[in-house]
Amino acid sequence: MIDAGTLDTQDTMGSGHPPDEQALQEFVHGAQQLEAAVQSVIIGQSEVVRETIIALLAGGHVLLEGVPGLGKTLLVRTLAAALDLSFSRVQFTPDLMPADITGTTILREDEHGGRSFAFQAGPVFAHLVLADEVNRATPKTQSALLEAMQEHTVTVGNDTHRLPLPFFVLATQNPLEMEGTYPLPEAQLDRFLLKILVPFPRGDVLLSIIQTTLVPATSPSPVLDGRRLGAMIQTARAVPIATPIARYAVSLLEATHPQWSEVEMVQRYVRAGASPRGLQALVTCAQVRALLEGRFNVAIADIQALAQPALRHRSLLNFDGQAEGLRSETVIDAVLEATPVR
């Protein structure tokens, strides 16, 4: 049950037209159905599943990072099976070319012998695109997704082609220290709403994985279609956020910039802080999390819970930070600890 609470409309930010109780209940029911469908296949990664669904319901793209064999690709394929949307998979390799993703113009001959140029769409023309092992392709090929992810269009020659909506890119990558990987360009990293780290399972979870391996694999049936998913995204965007909480999100973002931050670790080891897209990611994902937690208003806890996945890939370490073996997660933790809640 959603708790609408009591809000001062003069001190909140939002669309000004909150959805009715039915829309809220449909959102929660749909999200629970989707989460249950994915978790029926994915064992022991509940936080990863929740954060991925949060990004999806916020209308953004997801970057999943982890060593091989943790189920990153299986997670995306399971999510695609639970959604009644078109799906395509692109296996990124060093010899993959941009046209292999976006498509190309080819010469066609009709039944009367006439010839004409026509655009042959690539695999990016789907509602849900799995960019598998995206950091195994060269930066030139990685950048082929930039326009698609931001503007939902593909330009080939002088022609611009619109992608189907809704459009999501769910990319997987191996840690950058592994052989044969290329760091994603900063501009493309910024296109991902969240970067989610997939941890290695332990103990009982590994035993459960063995048990599921011994039985035939199953895929969930679709629980959401594009129309309903679009309606849920609009419902989440209407969740109000109080101005003090929005200011707290702004303070977190500013504290990742060395020229403004009072955090010593940021001043010493950060080359560039998170972009305004990071702030948008914090807020839109916090709106979804609030609904999933049973509230119709964003809380400080929502912002704090999403600070790592929203900001970790947007806070870039300098040479000293990399030489010290520092991780951006450590920097974000320091920012969270040092930023007061007013």
Record the tokens describing residue 126, joined without a space. 């789907």
Angle formed at CA 246 by CA 245 and CA 250, multiple of 5 degrees: 115
Give the CATH superfamily of 239-342: Magnesium chelatase subunit I, C-Terminal domain (1.10.8.80)
Confidence of residue 247 (pLDDT cuts 50, 70, 90): very high
**Comma-separated ranges of CATH 3.40.50.300 domains in the chain:** 16-94+124-202+222-237
* Per-residue confidence (pLDDT) for residue 7, from 0 to 100: 42
* Per-residue confidence (pLDDT) for residue 10, from 0 to 100: 46
Is 176 a residue whose pLDDT tops 60?
Answer: yes
Mean pLDDT, residues 167-196 = 86
* Per-residue confidence (pLDDT) for residue 156, from 0 to 100: 83
* Per-residue confidence (pLDDT) for residue 276, from 0 to 100: 93
Mean pLDDT, residues 291-310 = 93
Q: Which residues contact 124 (CB under 8 A, 6 or more apart)?
A: 88, 90, 101, 102, 103, 145, 148, 154, 163
Residue with the larger pLDDT of the pair 82 and 179: 82
DSSP, collapsed to helix, strand or coil, labels residue 290 as helix
Amino acid making up residue 256: T
DSSP, collapsed to helix, strand or coil, labels residue 69 as coil
DSSP, collapsed to helix, strand or coil, labels residue 208 as helix
- CB distance 90 to 131 below 8 Å: yes
* Separation CA 329–CA 314 (nearest Å): 11
- CB distance 79 to 56 below 8 Å: yes
* Per-residue confidence (pLDDT) for residue 187, from 0 to 100: 85
- Spelled out in words, what is the top-level CATH class assigned to the domain 16-94+124-202+222-237? alpha beta
Is 88 a residue whose pLDDT tops 80?
Answer: yes
* Per-residue confidence (pLDDT) for residue 206, from 0 to 100: 78
**Comma-separated ranges of CATH 1.10.8.80 domains in the chain:** 239-342
Residue with the larger pLDDT of the pair 210 and 24: 24
Is 82 a residue whose pLDDT tops 90?
Answer: yes
Mean pLDDT, residues 285-308 = 93
> What pTM did the predictor assign?
0.88
User: Of 29-38, 168-177, 290-299, which range is least confident?
Assistant: 168-177
**Relative orientation angle of helices 72-82 and 21-39, to the nearest 10 degrees:** 130
* Separation CA 201–CA 207 (nearest Å): 10
* Per-residue confidence (pLDDT) for residue 6, from 0 to 100: 40
* Per-residue confidence (pLDDT) for residue 23, from 0 to 100: 83
